Structure 1
Amino acid sequence: MSTADPVILRTATGPQATRWVTAHLREVPGLTTAAVLTTVAGAALQVVPVFILGQVVDGVVAGEPPSVLVTIGALLVAAVLLGAAATAGSTYLIGRLGADLLARLREAAVRAVLGMPSARIEQVGRGDVLSRVGDDVAVVSKGIRTAVPTVFSSGVLVAIATAGMFGLDWRLGLAGAGALPAYWLALRWYLPRSAPLYQRQREAQADRAQALISGLNGIDTVRAYRLEADFRARVTRESWRVRDLGIEVFRFFGRFVGRENRAEFIGLSLIIVVGYVLLEAGAVTLGQASVAPLLFHRLFNPLGAIMFTFDEAQKSGASLTRLVGVLAEPAEERLVGLAPAAPADGGPYPVTVEGLTFAYPGTERPVLVDVNLSIPAGGSLALVGATGAGKTTLAALIAGIGTPQAGSVRISSTDLAGLDEAGARALVSILTQETHVFSGPLADDLRLAAPEAGEAELMDALRTVGATPWVEALPDGLDTVVGEGGERLDGTKVAQLALARLILHRSPVVVLDESTAEAGSQGAAELERAVTAACAGRTTLYVAHRLTQAMAADRIAVLDAGRVVEQGTHAELVARGGRYARLWQAWQEGS
């Protein structure tokens, strides 16, 4: 990855997002054409009653018989009914077109995220990723249902009504067009300022999501190291930032509405004055002079709708550029790799970390500095340290996620820097606290790790982690639907499911990054036994969430500000009276 890569996911420009939308609209030409035609027809039929009203005025002035007025009235009713039908059809077709577009965009964005290098996900943070495939999709979805149909149909109505004024008399049309400079100045002031403002608002919401995710996911760690005040201050700071930007957006939009109202006043005043002059000169009829201000006034509703939905449209546009930007992120080929040949003695794989230095692109301060560690084949090492010490980053690098600027990570004799992610996954399994249960049969969820595994193999893995009792109690056993819409699993059961997957994957090296943090204290001891069973005979690295887990490891490494400051067994480090001893004392007092 280039050091020039941004620390957030890419954001597309407006023209790039427009080209993406245009390209996908061309894929459904029939639906697109039908939506445009019904919108134009609906807008045209909405202004027809205004012209008919002008005919009524002229008919009364000319002394036309009542039968003519009845005919005109019947035409008026027909135009209203047909206009309502066309508008309803337009709304339906635009909604259907928008839903199709949103589905394509959502699928493309999720596909792009799944194809990203894991190091890129770690670099930008899960908050930015989740806010795009979650919050941004929701914003675009709302915009497609509300803002897009309103802006499009209102824009067409404005164009047709303006053309109608010119059709009455070109001078009346010019009088109405006199408002255009005021509208243009208002938009010229608004648009360049609004897009960056909405972009800042979306980025602030992503930062707030990241602060919440990091705090909640590691809540027990935060409590153990007494960092509640720091995390609470961070969440509060990001929340106030979102609030302040929301107020700024509201005030800014209010100023834009004031400028739009001035433009309406200018246009209506010009039309009334010019219409009066032309009527006095006999250049237009009373009906025409009456229709012109009504047509211009007819623009108030669509223009007002555009203004009051422009806020939503701008938010949707900002979210659209963020989603389309995700599509431009570089992806990796996800080919199934094979682990290198096992050591000649057939034993497990040792892990060696030498001179490891790592900094995220775009940052000057390294997260890890000259780290040296070794885990003997089949042994275990626990990483401990305060939040921000670099534990998760080191665990990710040992799992093959990312490439260090200096130093190396070797599994046996294989340098992970020379493998793609598929090859790294064949050697190393990583299990984090963000374990997900996919909706579907429990057996299918387990087979994510071993597609060819039989039922007996699945049950063996579940038995190893102590999950057999609750699995056998399920209504349909392994065929029971779990996750969304099915059996809900508590934190302990979810962690056991993840550990069973770990067993089925059979990689020789295992990295556990606070993988049982969400289980709660009731299942802590049970899960620690399950972790020990799942990792038996495999080289294991723990990012220790509970110091009791660190105590059970063969050796412990203490990280501080990206450096290894202590190494040894639990007994050795406690006797040394250093940083680990102080952490252990704080842990015991907290417990």
Structure 2
Amino acid sequence: MSHALPVATREQAWRYARALFRDHPGMFRATIGLHLFAALAGLAGPRLLGALVQAVQRGVPGAELNRLAGTLAGFVLVQAVLIRFAYLASARLGEQVLAQLREEFIARVLTLPLGTVESAGTGDLLTRTTRDVDALSKCVRLAVPETMIALLTGGLVVVALIAVSPVLAVPLLVGVPITVAGTRWYVRRAPSGYLRQNAAYSEVTDGLTETVEGARTVEALGRQQQRIARTDRDLSRSWRAERYTLFLRTVWWPVIEVSYVIPMVLTLLTGGWLYLRGVVTLGQLTAAVVYVQQLIHPLDRLLSWLDELQVGAASLARLLGVAAAPEADHRDAPVPDGPRIEVRGVRFGYVEGREVLHGVDLALRPGERLAVVGPSGAGKSTLGRLLAGIHQPTEGSVTVGGVPLGALGPDRLRTEVALVSQEHHVFIGTLRDNVAMARPQAPEPDVRTALAAVHALEWADGLPDGLDTVVGDGGLPLTAAQAQQVALARLILADPHTLVLDEATALLDPRAARDLERSLAAVVHGRTVVAIAHRLFSAHDADRVAVVENGRITELGSHDELVAANGPYAALWRSWQGGDVPEKPPDQRRPEDDRLLESH
């Protein structure tokens, strides 16, 4: 079960947005200034047009009309130039702000504990890094500057209209209560609606990702209809969420249309009536009507982009919510006193009320090789992940040198203990960069030594450009075995004192896996190694073997000691060797012995 990452409050989102723009004061002032001058240039048009109409009515000479017309054309040209540069400044400001936000978001995501990311699920984080970032990008680059332009232009138009004739500005008041009431109704409901819509989309993405990644398992177990039903439910929730936000828009937009059509009609009727009675001139009426018409465009733009601002605010709240995910304060963390790792009374469950590990105790001896064996689902990998600090126990403690693993920052933790599982990833880039991720400044001889240790240097040198060959998506594809060797080479280059290998050689054939593990044994000499595996040659070569059953360590000792004890491990070894170990009589066997044997 996934637990979505937190979502920031609306106040936190707006506070962060204001801080972002304050980080670019010069660009922000230049953008506002250009838009302000463009709006002022645009205000001259209706006034000059009114004067031109008034001049025609009075019958002024043609030279005066030409002068007014030329002045009007000049202001239109100046406004066009200013608008062009204002939009360029808005675009630059938006891109800078968006770049800063993206960098901060990615930096924060990369510092999240892996357990937190896994608990959130792929869909939630993927949706935040794609759909929410795209929505926020549109908001920052377009909605924010468009809204500022509309506010400036609208405010100046109203001032200009009042300057022409305060009486002709009165009809605008009719539209104010309609606009305010409709917008307040919308704004009260839109934020929560868009948050639900984005969360529903995350569930759709999460479900589809699981189905695609587990397609073979779904097909093998005949669970197609179950996955289809899950997708239908997710899509139904997403449809209902989107239908709700669509309902909000279909109510709000018609109300807004009415709110500025009515003032336009009233201005024409009132102005005409006042003109017939000599209260206003024809030039004033013309200017007023054009100003009211001019006001419609920024008002329409403001209110239409307000909807986009709601989408952007919801996306920003989800992106900022990543920063609200639980994170330990590692600034004053003590330094571990040695490499000894101890597990004391550890209990852990991925879901509340369903424990996977039940009171596990284990002390790793520095420099030893411990093999962890047991049936599938017994909790071996979970124990390994706790030893690597990926998850934190719900009860008990996992310490290194007397310091809880959870108190160590990610950088410090990976110098103490590291995990390599059968899950691996090849990043887009050169093979050298992929290996050197653990130590980006590592010299090439160290990279080559790490590859040689895992028997990967020969095929690496055989690539078209050697270590400079681009691999990953869009580059040269690596086989599953090669990708696993790259992951192991990273581990060697990281040089932690404790290694947790969770089926780290599972994708290699048994002979190659055994050869690789022997090679690794020479490289990691003097380090503590925890090997979680089903292949029992790992257990045979280990200093100690821990047998995990039903979330507990039921046996712990050397290979010879456990075989002599003729318990669960002996049953497993007997199955592996073909019956060399005497079998317990049926009345002396435990159910755990049979389950362990059947699992292999």
TM-score by length of 1: 0.81
For 1:356, the equivalent position in structure 2 comes to 346
For 1:588, the equivalent position in structure 2 comes to none
- 2:306 pairs, out of 306, 310, 314, with 310
- 1:49 pairs, out of 45, 52, 55, with 45
- 1:74 pairs, out of 66, 70, 73, with 70
Q: Does 1:494 align with 2:483?
A: yes
For 2:207, the equivalent position in structure 1 comes to 211
Secondary structure at 2:12 match in 1: helix
Q: Does 1:262 align with 2:253?
A: no
For 2:81, the equivalent position in structure 1 comes to 85
For 2:465, the equivalent position in structure 1 comes to 476
Q: Does 1:290 align with 2:290?
A: no
For 1:465, the equivalent position in structure 2 comes to 454
For 1:368, the equivalent position in structure 2 comes to 356
Q: Does 1:36 align with 2:28?
A: no
Secondary structure at 1:400 match in 2: coil
Relative to structure 1, the CA distance from residue 438 to residue 225 in structure 2 (aligned partners, 3 Å threshold; closer, same or farther) is same
- 1:120 pairs, out of 107, 116, 123, with 116
Deviation (angstroms), 1:320? 1.6
Relative to structure 1, the CA distance from residue 452 to residue 392 in structure 2 (aligned partners, 3 Å threshold; closer, same or farther) is same
**1:414 and 1:148 mapped to 2: Cα distance?**
48
Q: Does 1:138 align with 2:134?
A: yes
Relative to structure 1, the CA distance from residue 270 to residue 439 in structure 2 (aligned partners, 3 Å threshold; closer, same or farther) is same
- 1:378 pairs, out of 356, 369, 377, with 369
Deviation (angstroms), 1:210? 3.4
Deviation (angstroms), 1:380? 2.2
For 1:189, the equivalent position in structure 2 comes to 185
Q: Does 1:27 align with 2:23?
A: yes
User: Is the Cα–Cα contact under 8 Å of residues 339 and 498 in structure 2 kept in the other structure?
Assistant: no
- 2:318 pairs, out of 308, 318, 322, with 322
For 2:389, the equivalent position in structure 1 comes to 400
**1:182 and 1:465 mapped to 2: Cα distance?**
73
Deviation (angstroms), 1:336? 11
Counterpart amino acid of residue 233 in structure 2: R
**1:222 and 1:236 mapped to 2: Cα distance?**
16
Structure 1 residue runs of 5 or longer lacking an equivalent are 1-5, 344-350, 585-591
Secondary structure at 2:499 match in 1: strand
**1:422 and 1:293 mapped to 2: Cα distance?**
66
Secondary structure at 1:299 match in 2: helix
Deviation (angstroms), 1:440? 4.6
User: Is the Cα–Cα contact under 8 Å of residues 109 and 324 in structure 1 kept in the other structure?
Assistant: yes
**2:215 and 2:595 mapped to 1: Cα distance?**
22
Over residues 443-485 of structure 1, what are the superposed CA-to-partner deviations in whole Å (9 max), with x where a residue is unaligned?
3432333467554443343234342343112343224444577
Deviation (angstroms), 1:392? 5.9
Aligned 1:275-286 pairs, distance under 5 A = 275-286=271-282
Deviation (angstroms), 1:427? 3.6
Counterpart amino acid of residue 77 in structure 2: L
Relative to structure 1, the CA distance from residue 198 to residue 553 in structure 2 (aligned partners, 3 Å threshold; closer, same or farther) is farther
User: Is the Cα–Cα contact under 8 Å of residues 172 and 292 in structure 1 kept in the other structure?
Assistant: yes
TM-score by length of 2: 0.80
**1:392 and 1:155 mapped to 2: Cα distance?**
58
User: Is the Cα–Cα contact under 8 Å of residues 339 and 423 in structure 1 kept in the other structure?
Assistant: no
User: Is the Cα–Cα contact under 8 Å of residues 127 and 205 in structure 2 kept in the other structure?
Assistant: yes
Q: Does 1:341 align with 2:341?
A: no
Relative to structure 1, the CA distance from residue 482 to residue 337 in structure 2 (aligned partners, 3 Å threshold; closer, same or farther) is farther
Secondary structure at 2:288 match in 1: helix
Counterpart amino acid of residue 396 in structure 2: G
Deviation (angstroms), 1:174? 1.9
**1:391 and 1:170 mapped to 2: Cα distance?**
80
Deviates further, 276-285 or 550-559: 550-559
Larger Rg: 2
Aligned 1:395-544 pairs, distance under 5 A = 395-409=384-398, 416=405, 421-422=410-411, 424-432=413-421, 435-450=424-439, 453-483=442-472, 487-489=476-478, 491-512=480-501, 528=513, 532=517, 536=521, 539-542=529-532
Deviates further, 332-341 or 297-306: 332-341
User: Is the Cα–Cα contact under 8 Å of residues 194 and 245 in structure 2 kept in the other structure?
Assistant: yes
Relative to structure 1, the CA distance from residue 71 to residue 529 in structure 2 (aligned partners, 3 Å threshold; closer, same or farther) is farther
Secondary structure at 2:346 match in 1: strand
User: Is the Cα–Cα contact under 8 Å of residues 41 and 78 in structure 2 kept in the other structure?
Assistant: yes
Counterpart amino acid of residue 85 in structure 1: V
Deviates further, 440-449 or 40-49: 440-449
Q: Does 1:101 align with 2:90?
A: no
Secondary structure at 1:540 match in 2: strand
Relative to structure 1, the CA distance from residue 406 to residue 27 in structure 2 (aligned partners, 3 Å threshold; closer, same or farther) is closer
Over residues 177-232 of structure 1, what are the superposed CA-to-partner deviations in whole Å (9 max), with x where a residue is unaligned?
22011000110110010011111122222333333444555556666766665555
User: Is the Cα–Cα contact under 8 Å of residues 383 and 541 in structure 1 kept in the other structure?
Assistant: no
**2:222 and 2:397 mapped to 1: Cα distance?**
34
**2:110 and 2:56 mapped to 1: Cα distance?**
70
**2:240 and 2:515 mapped to 1: Cα distance?**
47
User: Is the Cα–Cα contact under 8 Å of residues 41 and 76 in structure 2 kept in the other structure?
Assistant: yes
Structure 2 residue runs of 5 or longer lacking an equivalent are 540-544, 556-567, 577-582, 584-590
User: Is the Cα–Cα contact under 8 Å of residues 357 and 379 in structure 2 kept in the other structure?
Assistant: no
